[in-house]
A and B are shown apart, each in its own frame.
Chain A
Protein backbone atom coordinates (compact mmCIF):
# COMPACT_ATOMS: atom_id res chain seq x y z
CA UNK A 1 0.00 0.00 0.00
CA UNK A 2 1.26 3.44 -0.88
CA UNK A 3 0.92 5.74 2.12
CA UNK A 4 3.20 8.53 1.01
CA UNK A 5 1.83 11.93 1.78
CA UNK A 6 1.11 14.11 -1.18
CA UNK A 7 -0.33 11.46 -3.45
CA UNK A 8 -3.95 11.09 -2.44
CA UNK A 9 -4.49 13.78 0.17
CA UNK A 10 -2.04 16.56 -0.60
CA UNK A 11 -0.45 17.57 2.66
CA UNK A 12 -3.33 16.21 4.68
CA UNK A 13 -3.32 12.79 6.25
CA UNK A 14 -6.60 10.88 6.30
CA UNK A 15 -6.92 11.14 10.08
CA UNK A 16 -6.30 14.90 10.30
CA UNK A 17 -9.99 15.75 10.33
CA UNK A 18 -10.61 13.18 13.03
CA UNK A 19 -7.92 14.69 15.20
CA UNK A 20 -9.20 18.21 14.77
CA UNK A 21 -12.78 17.20 15.44
CA UNK A 22 -11.81 15.13 18.46
CA UNK A 23 -9.86 18.04 19.92
CA UNK A 24 -12.54 20.64 19.24
CA UNK A 25 -15.30 18.42 20.60
CA UNK A 26 -13.39 17.64 23.78
CA UNK A 27 -12.53 21.31 24.33
CA UNK A 28 -16.21 22.19 23.85
CA UNK A 29 -17.25 19.52 26.32
CA UNK A 30 -14.59 20.77 28.72
CA UNK A 31 -15.99 24.29 28.39
CA UNK A 32 -19.51 23.18 29.28
CA UNK A 33 -18.07 21.18 32.18
CA UNK A 34 -16.10 24.19 33.46
CA UNK A 35 -19.07 26.56 33.27
CA UNK A 36 -21.33 24.03 35.00
CA UNK A 37 -18.83 23.49 37.81
CA UNK A 38 -18.33 27.25 38.27
CA UNK A 39 -22.09 27.76 38.59
CA UNK A 40 -22.66 24.66 40.68
CA UNK A 41 -20.06 25.23 43.40
CA UNK A 42 -20.02 29.03 43.13
CA UNK A 43 -16.32 28.82 42.49
CA UNK A 44 -14.19 31.83 41.82
CA UNK A 45 -14.58 32.42 38.12
CA UNK A 46 -11.00 33.35 37.30
CA UNK A 47 -9.35 30.42 39.07
CA UNK A 48 -11.62 27.80 37.46
CA UNK A 49 -11.28 29.52 34.10
CA UNK A 50 -7.50 29.47 34.45
CA UNK A 51 -7.51 25.76 35.30
CA UNK A 52 -9.88 25.10 32.38
CA UNK A 53 -7.58 26.91 29.97
CA UNK A 54 -4.65 24.89 31.27
CA UNK A 55 -6.64 21.68 30.73
CA UNK A 56 -7.57 22.81 27.21
CA UNK A 57 -3.87 23.36 26.55
CA UNK A 58 -3.11 19.85 27.79
CA UNK A 59 -5.79 18.41 25.49
CA UNK A 60 -4.31 20.32 22.55
CA UNK A 61 -0.83 19.07 23.46
CA UNK A 62 -2.11 15.49 23.60
CA UNK A 63 -3.66 16.04 20.16
CA UNK A 64 -0.33 17.26 18.80
CA UNK A 65 1.54 14.27 20.23
CA UNK A 66 -1.15 11.90 18.97
CA UNK A 67 -0.97 13.46 15.50
CA UNK A 68 2.79 12.98 15.41
CA UNK A 69 2.32 9.34 16.37
CA UNK A 70 -0.29 8.81 13.69
CA UNK A 71 1.99 10.34 11.07
CA UNK A 72 4.76 7.95 12.02
CA UNK A 73 2.41 4.99 12.01
CA UNK A 74 0.86 6.00 8.71
CA UNK A 75 4.28 6.02 7.09
CA UNK A 76 4.65 2.46 8.35
CA UNK A 77 1.42 1.45 6.69
CA UNK A 78 -1.51 2.29 8.94
CA UNK A 79 -0.32 0.02 11.71
CA UNK A 80 -2.00 2.21 14.30
CA UNK A 81 -5.38 1.73 12.65
CA UNK A 82 -5.11 -1.99 13.19
CA UNK A 83 -4.74 -1.44 16.90
CA UNK A 84 -7.02 1.52 17.48
CA UNK A 85 -10.23 0.53 19.13
CA UNK A 86 -13.41 2.16 20.36
CA UNK A 87 -12.05 3.44 23.64
CA UNK A 88 -12.28 7.07 22.58
CA UNK A 89 -15.89 6.61 21.48
CA UNK A 90 -16.97 4.91 24.69
CA UNK A 91 -14.86 7.16 26.92
CA UNK A 92 -16.15 10.38 25.40
CA UNK A 93 -19.73 9.11 25.64
CA UNK A 94 -19.16 8.46 29.35
CA UNK A 95 -17.76 11.98 29.73
CA UNK A 96 -20.87 13.47 28.08
CA UNK A 97 -23.05 11.38 30.39
CA UNK A 98 -21.15 12.68 33.43
CA UNK A 99 -21.47 16.31 32.29
CA UNK A 100 -25.19 15.69 31.59
CA UNK A 101 -25.65 14.61 35.21
CA UNK A 102 -23.85 17.75 36.40
CA UNK A 103 -26.05 19.99 34.24
CA UNK A 104 -29.17 18.22 35.53
CA UNK A 105 -27.96 18.81 39.08
CA UNK A 106 -27.39 22.47 38.26
CA UNK A 107 -30.93 22.82 36.97
CA UNK A 108 -32.47 21.01 39.92
CA UNK A 109 -30.39 22.44 42.77
CA UNK A 110 -29.92 26.09 41.84
Chain B
Protein backbone atom coordinates (compact mmCIF):
# COMPACT_ATOMS: atom_id res chain seq x y z
CA UNK B 1 0.00 0.00 0.00
CA UNK B 2 1.42 3.40 -0.93
CA UNK B 3 2.10 6.02 1.75
CA UNK B 4 -0.69 8.27 0.58
CA UNK B 5 -3.37 5.58 0.47
CA UNK B 6 -5.92 5.11 3.23
CA UNK B 7 -7.15 1.71 2.20
CA UNK B 8 -5.28 -1.05 0.48
CA UNK B 9 -6.66 -1.86 -2.92
CA UNK B 10 -5.10 -4.74 -4.71
CA UNK B 11 -5.82 -5.66 -8.28
CA UNK B 12 -6.03 -3.67 -11.43
CA UNK B 13 -9.04 -2.36 -13.27
CA UNK B 14 -10.89 -4.43 -15.79
CA UNK B 15 -9.48 -2.62 -18.78
CA UNK B 16 -11.65 -2.09 -21.77
CA UNK B 17 -14.91 -2.39 -19.86
CA UNK B 18 -14.96 1.09 -18.41
CA UNK B 19 -15.60 4.38 -20.08
CA UNK B 20 -14.24 6.91 -20.82
CA UNK B 21 -11.22 5.01 -22.10
CA UNK B 22 -9.10 8.16 -21.98
CA UNK B 23 -9.24 7.97 -18.19
CA UNK B 24 -9.46 4.30 -17.36
CA UNK B 25 -6.84 3.00 -19.78
CA UNK B 26 -4.25 5.01 -17.86
CA UNK B 27 -2.20 3.88 -14.89
CA UNK B 28 -3.31 1.73 -11.98
CA UNK B 29 -6.39 1.65 -9.80
CA UNK B 30 -6.14 4.39 -7.13
CA UNK B 31 -7.38 4.31 -3.58
CA UNK B 32 -11.20 4.13 -3.84
CA UNK B 33 -11.58 6.96 -1.34
CA UNK B 34 -9.73 9.32 -3.65
CA UNK B 35 -11.88 8.58 -6.68
CA UNK B 36 -15.01 9.00 -4.53
CA UNK B 37 -13.70 12.36 -3.30
CA UNK B 38 -12.97 13.36 -6.89
CA UNK B 39 -16.55 12.58 -7.86
CA UNK B 40 -17.88 14.64 -4.94
CA UNK B 41 -15.88 17.61 -6.16
CA UNK B 42 -17.43 17.16 -9.60
CA UNK B 43 -20.88 17.01 -7.98
CA UNK B 44 -20.17 20.36 -6.32
CA UNK B 45 -19.45 21.88 -9.74
CA UNK B 46 -22.69 20.35 -10.98
CA UNK B 47 -24.69 21.84 -8.11
CA UNK B 48 -23.21 25.26 -8.87
CA UNK B 49 -24.35 24.85 -12.50
CA UNK B 50 -27.87 23.85 -11.39
CA UNK B 51 -28.03 26.87 -9.05
CA UNK B 52 -26.98 29.21 -11.87
CA UNK B 53 -29.66 27.74 -14.14
CA UNK B 54 -32.28 28.27 -11.43
CA UNK B 55 -31.10 31.88 -11.10
CA UNK B 56 -31.44 32.34 -14.87
CA UNK B 57 -35.05 31.10 -14.77
CA UNK B 58 -35.78 33.37 -11.79
CA UNK B 59 -34.39 36.45 -13.56
CA UNK B 60 -36.38 35.63 -16.69
CA UNK B 61 -39.60 35.44 -14.64
CA UNK B 62 -38.76 38.54 -12.62
CA UNK B 63 -38.71 40.72 -15.72
CA UNK B 64 -41.57 38.97 -17.50
CA UNK B 65 -44.00 41.90 -17.27
CA UNK B 66 -41.45 44.46 -18.41
CA UNK B 67 -38.97 42.64 -20.65
CA UNK B 68 -35.67 44.38 -20.77
CA UNK B 69 -32.64 43.73 -22.94
CA UNK B 70 -30.27 43.69 -19.96
CA UNK B 71 -32.27 41.05 -18.12
CA UNK B 72 -32.12 38.74 -21.12
CA UNK B 73 -28.39 39.25 -21.40
CA UNK B 74 -28.00 38.53 -17.70
CA UNK B 75 -30.14 35.37 -17.85
CA UNK B 76 -28.37 34.08 -20.95
CA UNK B 77 -25.03 34.95 -19.36
CA UNK B 78 -25.92 32.85 -16.34
CA UNK B 79 -26.88 29.96 -18.63
CA UNK B 80 -23.54 30.30 -20.42
CA UNK B 81 -21.66 30.36 -17.11
CA UNK B 82 -23.61 27.29 -15.95
CA UNK B 83 -22.65 25.53 -19.17
CA UNK B 84 -19.00 26.49 -18.66
CA UNK B 85 -19.10 25.47 -14.99
CA UNK B 86 -20.33 22.02 -15.92
CA UNK B 87 -17.66 21.67 -18.61
CA UNK B 88 -14.98 22.82 -16.20
CA UNK B 89 -16.18 20.28 -13.64
CA UNK B 90 -15.93 17.44 -16.17
CA UNK B 91 -12.50 18.63 -17.30
CA UNK B 92 -11.18 18.77 -13.75
CA UNK B 93 -12.71 15.40 -12.86
CA UNK B 94 -11.04 13.92 -15.94
CA UNK B 95 -7.61 15.45 -15.23
CA UNK B 96 -7.72 14.55 -11.53
CA UNK B 97 -8.79 10.97 -12.17
CA UNK B 98 -5.98 10.52 -14.68
CA UNK B 99 -3.45 12.01 -12.28
CA UNK B 100 -4.68 9.73 -9.49
CA UNK B 101 -4.36 6.69 -11.69
CA UNK B 102 -0.88 7.66 -12.89
CA UNK B 103 0.29 8.53 -9.36
CA UNK B 104 1.12 12.04 -10.49
CA UNK B 105 0.60 15.34 -8.63
CA UNK B 106 -2.99 16.55 -8.88
CA UNK B 107 -3.68 19.47 -11.21
CA UNK B 108 -3.90 22.81 -9.42
CA UNK B 109 -6.91 25.04 -9.57
CA UNK B 110 -4.88 28.02 -10.61
CA UNK B 111 -5.16 31.66 -9.65
CA UNK B 112 -5.54 32.72 -13.32
CA UNK B 113 -8.94 31.08 -13.48
CA UNK B 114 -10.09 32.91 -10.38
CA UNK B 115 -8.77 36.16 -11.81
CA UNK B 116 -10.65 35.58 -15.07
CA UNK B 117 -13.81 34.85 -13.07
CA UNK B 118 -13.34 38.04 -11.05
CA UNK B 119 -12.92 40.12 -14.22
CA UNK B 120 -15.95 38.51 -15.88
CA UNK B 121 -18.12 39.13 -12.82
CA UNK B 122 -16.95 42.75 -12.62
CA UNK B 123 -17.68 43.30 -16.33
CA UNK B 124 -21.12 41.69 -15.91
CA UNK B 125 -21.88 43.93 -12.93
CA UNK B 126 -20.84 47.10 -14.79
CA UNK B 127 -22.88 46.01 -17.83
CA UNK B 128 -25.98 45.50 -15.71
CA UNK B 129 -25.56 48.87 -14.02
CA UNK B 130 -24.99 50.70 -17.32
CA UNK B 131 -27.90 49.02 -19.09
CA UNK B 132 -30.37 49.44 -16.23
CA UNK B 133 -33.15 51.83 -17.29
CA UNK B 134 -33.01 54.93 -15.10
CA UNK B 135 -36.05 56.45 -13.38
Contacts and interface: CB of A to CB of B under 8 A. Distances in A.
Which bracket fits the contact residues of B? 35 or more
Contacts of A85: 17-20, 24
B43 A93 contact: no
A67 interface: no
Contacts of B49: 96, 100
Contact residues on A (Cβ < 8 Å of other chain), bracket: 35 or more
Nearest to A29: B50
A107 B76 contact: yes
* Secondary structure type dominating chain A contacts: helix
B36 A107 contact: no
17 contacts: A3-B7, A8-B7, A14-B33, A21-B44, A81-B29, A81-B35, A83-B18, A85-B20, A85-B24, A86-B19, A89-B39, A89-B42, A96-B53, A96-B83, A100-B86, A106-B57, A107-B56
Interface of A: 1, 3, 8, 14-15, 17-18, 21-22, 24-25, 28-29, 31-32, 35-36, 39, 78, 81-90, 92-93, 96-97, 99-100, 103-104, 106-108, 110
Interface of B: 6-11, 13-14, 17-20, 23-24, 29, 32-33, 35-36, 39-40, 42-44, 46-47, 49-51, 53-54, 56-57, 60-61, 64, 72, 75-76, 79, 82-83, 86-87, 89-90, 93-94, 97
